[in-house]
Amino acid sequence: MQAFIVDLAGVHDAESLHDALAAQLPLPTHYGRNLDAFYDVLTEFGCGWRIVFRNAGPAADGLREVCRDAAEETEGLEIVFENEQRKDATMDNEVLKALRARRSVRAYRPEQIKEEELKAVLEAGTYAPTGMGWQDPWIVAVQDPEIIAQLVRMNAKAMGTTGNPYYGAPTIVLVFASPVEKVPFSVCDGSLVLGNMMLAAYSIGLGSCWIHREREMFETDEGKALMKKFGLPDGLVGIGSIALGYAAVPLAPAKPRKADYYRIV
């Protein structure tokens, strides 16, 4: 992805707007210096561009509209007007509601989730913050029934039971990361990936539940062989996993939060 920061300070009319665009973006020489032409450039060349506009004033109102249309039209084109990213922010927005409403799901319908749903969840995981921005974790989504049966057996063994620790979910998403001796924040990184994925799952109508014991499972020879089969680099450790699927039961309400959970000092 190519990233551009375009400073629109001092832009007060169409001429100064197109001066700023032409000076700060790789526009073709035949660029027509009007918004229709700018739309054509964005939709033709913008795939893989991320443009951040800074200091956009009222003279950029038309530009905003053109950029929104072009970004909708063009896959891989991302345009942000700085300081306007959370224009819709209220104290009761969809993200805050989802954070309160997500619950662990422990009964799943057998049918598989849609590919676009799985990809949305996995992509949400990849956008979790990571220490130093290293993106240390690795995510493996398992839908192969044979491998799922193997994971069920391995996890049950680590837990000392014979039940299905993944509650019959048709998809299991495993998260791996470097050992803490190598990357001290790897467990935090992996946990945030799992958290993002559970929230994303809830937001698109899927059920999920963090299922533990991946560290023990993947310390075994069988676990290491499986990691090799997944094509992961050597030396990773299991951080955790999520069961993922359509909930077979309604979500339970959240337990009351403990009274002194947070304090402001």
Q: Which spans of this chain sit near ligand FMN (rule: CB under 6 A)?
A: 103-104, 106, 209-212, 254
Length of the chain: 265
Q: 142: which residues sit within 8 A by CB, 6+ positions away?
A: 148, 151, 171, 172, 173, 174
Residue 254 CB, nearest distance to ligand FMN (Å)?
Answer: 6
User: Which CB, 46 or 207, lies closer to ligand FMN?
Assistant: 207
- Residue 174: closest CA among 131, 145, 143, 146: 143
Q: End-to-end distance of the chain based on CA atoms, in angstroms?
A: 42
User: Which CB, 200 or 211, lies closer to ligand FMN?
Assistant: 211
Residue 229 CB, nearest distance to ligand FMN (Å)?
Answer: 23
- Report in angstroms the alpha-carbon separations of 213 from 136, 157, 165, 191: 20, 10, 10, 13
Amino acid at 82: E
Residue 208 CB, nearest distance to ligand FMN (Å)?
Answer: 9
User: Which CB, 90 or 262, lies closer to ligand FMN?
Assistant: 262
Residues facing 175 on adjacent strands: 139, 240
Q: 248: which residues sit within 8 A by CB, 6+ positions away?
A: 107, 108, 109, 207
Residue 167 CB, nearest distance to ligand FMN (Å)?
Answer: 7
Sequence-ordered alpha helix ranges (H) in the chain? 14-24, 35-45, 61-73, 94-101, 115-126, 145-159, 186-203, 214-217, 221-229
User: Which CB, 54 or 109, lies closer to ligand FMN?
Assistant: 109
Residue 26 CB, nearest distance to ligand FMN (Å)?
Answer: 46
Hey, what are 155's tokens? 């996890």
Residue 202 CB, nearest distance to ligand FMN (Å)?
Answer: 10
